[in-house]
Amino acid sequence: MLAAGKSTRLYPLTLELPKCLLAVGDKTILDHQVESLVANGIKELVIVVGYHKQKIIDHLAEKNYPITITYIENDQYERNGPIIGGLRLVRNYLHEPLLFFHCDVLFTTDAIATLLANPNESVLLYRRGVWDEEAGKIIVDAEGRVQELGKHIDMNRASGEYAQIAKFGADFCERLVTIVDERLIAGRDGYTIDAFNDVVQDSSIHALGLPFGGFLMEIDTTEDYAAAQKVWGEQNL
């Protein structure tokens, strides 16, 4: 999980608090995420922290969830983007099947269950027809194979919005490490979706795009946060 950024678009809510500790319902976003992992039998969590990192560490220490947590510190979170400031730092963990998501994605337990239940090694969840121009988008072919990912994709070409939560198999991880190394050498930072797009351009990598109809929201702005609280309450989740 990447949780190092300042989340300035959520100011003033995040002036003294990391985004993942904002409350939705009776729990923080982070609590909803970790409880979903625990409910699905996940035993280990790796978190990249930076902005107000000690508050995240203290919060999870107090909760004492039955999951092993490793913290990786990104002290350059104001200078580096998600590839150099995030994926580079977890490079040594990108060698086995894993779940990947950002700290600002609010989801219910069934999102993790859907990924784990799918027999494909690499699966990216997406929402059909729910996106805006700034969203990270996804294109899948008739068989569901991911063809392209990115904010650059025109809305008219997109199959939907990449939901920022995925399961990556060993081959995807191996290729991702190579991509991260190449981007570091070239000084090419960017969003994680940019690195994932580089991976799926390799024809030997089979990544399935899986439409998901359950509750799943990315919280980037104060408007997103208000909408998440409203929908969460209305659906009594």
pLDDT band at 129 (very low <50, low <70, confident <90, very high): confident
Least confident stretch, 85-94, 125-134, 137-146: 125-134
57, 66, 88 from 176: Cα distances, Å: 28, 29, 10
Give the CA-trace dihedral at 58, 64, 70, 76, to 10 degrees: -20
pLDDT of 14-68, one tens digit each?
999 999 999 999 999 999 999 999 999 999 999 999 999 999 999 999 999 999 9
For residue 34, being part of any structural domain is answered with yes
Most confident of 94-98, 132-136, 153-157, 194-198: 194-198
- Distance from C-alpha of 132 to C-alpha of 211, rounded to nearest angstrom: 17
Predicted confidence at residue 132, as pLDDT, reads: 73
At 151, the amino acid letter reads: K
| Selected residue with higher pLDDT from 129 and 70 | 70
For residue 224, being part of any structural domain is answered with no
Query: Which CATH number does the domain housing residue 210 bear?
Result: 3.90.550.10
Is a pLDDT exceeding 80 seen at residue 234?
yes
Q: Is the peptide bond before 12 cis (omega within 30 degrees of 0)?
A: yes
For residue 51, being part of any structural domain is answered with yes
The total domain count for the chain is: 1
- Are 126 and 163 spatial neighbours (Cβ–Cβ below 8 Å)? yes
- Distance from C-alpha of 136 to C-alpha of 216, rounded to nearest angstrom: 14
- Distance from C-alpha of 165 to C-alpha of 26, rounded to nearest angstrom: 23
Is a pLDDT exceeding 70 seen at residue 229?
yes
For residue 232, being part of any structural domain is answered with no
Please, what is the average pLDDT of the chain?
Answer: 94
For residue 150, being part of any structural domain is answered with yes
- Are 127 and 161 spatial neighbours (Cβ–Cβ below 8 Å)? yes
Is a pLDDT exceeding 70 seen at residue 5?
yes
183, 193, 237 from 207: Cα distances, Å: 21, 13, 30
Hey, CA dihedral for 161, 168, 73, 31, is it positive or negative?
A: positive
Predicted TM-score (pTM) of the model is: 0.93
Is a pLDDT exceeding 90 seen at residue 149?
yes
Token pair recorded at residue 95 = 């060698």
For residue 166, being part of any structural domain is answered with yes
Predicted confidence at residue 173, as pLDDT, reads: 96
For residue 23, being part of any structural domain is answered with yes
Structural domain span for residue 63: 2-218
Predicted confidence at residue 39, as pLDDT, reads: 97
For residue 235, being part of any structural domain is answered with no
**Mean pLDDT across 87-110:** 92
- Distance from C-alpha of 172 to C-alpha of 206, rounded to nearest angstrom: 8
Predicted confidence at residue 133, as pLDDT, reads: 78
Predicted confidence at residue 130, as pLDDT, reads: 65
pLDDT band at 228 (very low <50, low <70, confident <90, very high): very high
